[in-house]
Structure 1
Amino acid sequence: MDTDQLRQVRLAKDAMDRDWAEPLDLARVAAEAGYSRYHFVRLFREAYGETPGRYLGRRRIERAQELLRSANLTVTEICMLVGFTSVGTFCTRFKEQTGLTPTEFRDRSAGPAAIPGCFVLFWAGGFRRD
């Protein structure tokens, strides 16, 4: 992979890191890099050792772990905040990555007082501002 290709793939990866909670599809991310979906997947895997979908899923689970440790939100609320649309898929992927369900993870990570869920939802854009 040449440096121009690596730069373009990095731009798409940066977009994924920036917009991780948004609904992202492969076509949109590949367009960010200026490649077809299939070529982008090959280049991304070559550069980072995993597919864009795996990377984004891993990053979303990492952010969910942070929220489970620190915010007073339900698993469903966290699932939606980090960009998953199905609680079942979220819980399955979470357990694959951490070895624990989200609830088990929260129970084992109990620590200092949690951030009130209303603050997290407001910060994440979960409340309408009319």
Structure 2
Amino acid sequence: MDIAPARSTPGKRPADVARLRRVRDLIDRTYAAPLDVVALARGAGMAPGCLSRRFRAVYGQSPYAYLTARRVDRATLLLRGELGPDAVSAAVGCATPGIFTARFTELVGLTPERFRRLTKDGADTADGIEGLPPCLAQRVARAVRNQEARHRPGP
């Protein structure tokens, strides 16, 4: 019986995953800076289009979508403190408060001001994930855009 060697799917080879993990980690560290896919790709030794395709294959979203989700995750923490929505928008690197409000509302389902009010009133929006390890909590609580949600066929 001949067994063919297992082939890695493009973008999921160990070397690619390690390079993409470094790109993801860089985005995590520099989320407040503008996204420069060309510079990220250069640092990973890939073409920009190749980086975007492989990043999506491994992490399920584009580098820009990952950055946006990272900014919104950070914003949810900052909004629980003393900063207002405009200050949080600048702190997480959004170009304008309007863009920040639109993306935050799209991913969280509440405007930043409404989210802030709810957390100040004592309503805990993260019930149920406090005891989870951070890697699992992030996956469970990750906001999903409506366009990225799986389509369920009707009856």
CA distance in 2, matches of 1:15, 1:22: 11
Query: Is 1:34 the counterpart of 2:45 in the alignment?
Result: yes
Runs of 4+ in 1 over 4 A off after TM superposition: none
Higher helix content, 1 or 2:
1
Query: Is 1:48 the counterpart of 2:38 in the alignment?
Result: no
CA distance in 2, matches of 1:3, 1:27: 22
| Correspondence for 1:100 among 90, 104, 110 | 110
Task: State percent identity of aligned pairs.
Answer: 36
Q: How does 1:55-70 map to 2 (within 5 A)?
A: 55-70=66-81
Contact preservation (8 Å) 2:101, 2:111: yes
- Alignment partner of 1:103: what SS? helix
Equivalence for 1:24: 35
The normalised TM-score by structure 2 is: 0.68
Q: How does 1:7-22 map to 2 (within 5 A)?
A: 7-22=18-33
Name which structure has the greater RCO, CA cutoff 8 Å, separation 6+. 1
The normalised TM-score by structure 1 is: 0.81
Contact preservation (8 Å) 2:74, 2:92: yes
Instruction: Name the larger-Rg structure.
Output: 2
Count of equivalent residues: 111
| Correspondence for 2:86 among 76, 98, 103 | 76
Deviations 1:19-40 (A, max 9, x none): 1112222112222211111000
